[in-house]
Amino acid sequence: MSQLELTDIFSVDRQGKPTMKIVLFGPPLSGKTSMLTVFNALRRMENPDTIVSSLQKIQDISGRTVFFDQGVFQTPPFKGKKFDRLRYQLWTIPGEERHKVQRDIVMKGVDGVILFLNFENIAKQMNEEIIKGAKDQIGEKFGKKVPVVAFINKSDLAENERIDKREIIQNMIEEGAILSDKAANHVMTGSCLNARNDLVEILNSPNRDEYFDDNNRLTVDKRPDSVWLIVRPIQKLTQLVVEQRIEIVQDS
């Protein structure tokens, strides 16, 4: 078989670029918009030329996302692979049931899902409803033809204010998002607040030049740990989707 290209396993946009559509599915006020904002800021700091479109959002008066946020980014080629660049479309959708119609629209053509959950104790029931709601929305493809990872936000909370991660893993197993606790690495944690604050600190640092190259771009090896935690679910989901698509193409 000839060398696979990303255009063999992903749909392409109007410019002919292979594009991966990721939907962040989570409860209200869990931090979905914050994650996109951090990721957008990171891409601008690391390589402004790769921004295809800025975040767009429509919010109600409470500040909650009513329709969706979208960000399209372009990544460097995969290491060791002669793939073209892969563009990401990152969408968030509202967690409230009253927005089911919008969810139906946004979920069309999705390649992978990030269950964007909340570590707060008071969010336990909402997290469970989101996992079940995502399964109901996607159907039999959930966790199979549509790979799923989870990101639990607000890891900056004190331990006694957080849900036990093992409970979330068990809930994901029960709903079929992951097959067993051996896939627990599909469940990641982090803090969008910490990531945002660390990026702001870099921008305001008197030693700012230490973080940027000659083109005034943040070097990858200077990413704060908090930011790496935000990027990991995107990387993991990309890996799962690519592996699945390659397997399908090779078996056909």
- The predicted model scores a pTM of 0.86
Query: pLDDT of 145-178, one tens digit each?
Result: 899 999 999 999 999 999 999 999 999 899 888 8
For the chain, which domains are there? 6-251 (3.40.50.300)
Q: What is the dihedral of CA 239, 147, 221, 154, to 10 degrees?
A: -160
Q: Worst-scoring range by mean pLDDT, 7-16, 83-92, 93-102, 116-125?
A: 93-102
Q: Determine the pLDDT at residue 36.
A: 84
Band (pLDDT 50/70/90 cuts) for residue 57 is: low
Q: Determine the pLDDT at residue 154.
A: 94
- In 3D space, the residue among 33, 139, 34 whose CA is nearest the CA of residue 93 turns out to be 33
Query: pLDDT of 76-97, one tens digit each?
Result: 555 555 555 778 888 887 666 6
Query: pLDDT of 181-197, one tens digit each?
Result: 777 788 999 999 999 99
Residue 213 has pLDDT above 50, yes or no: yes
Residue 1 has pLDDT above 50, yes or no: no
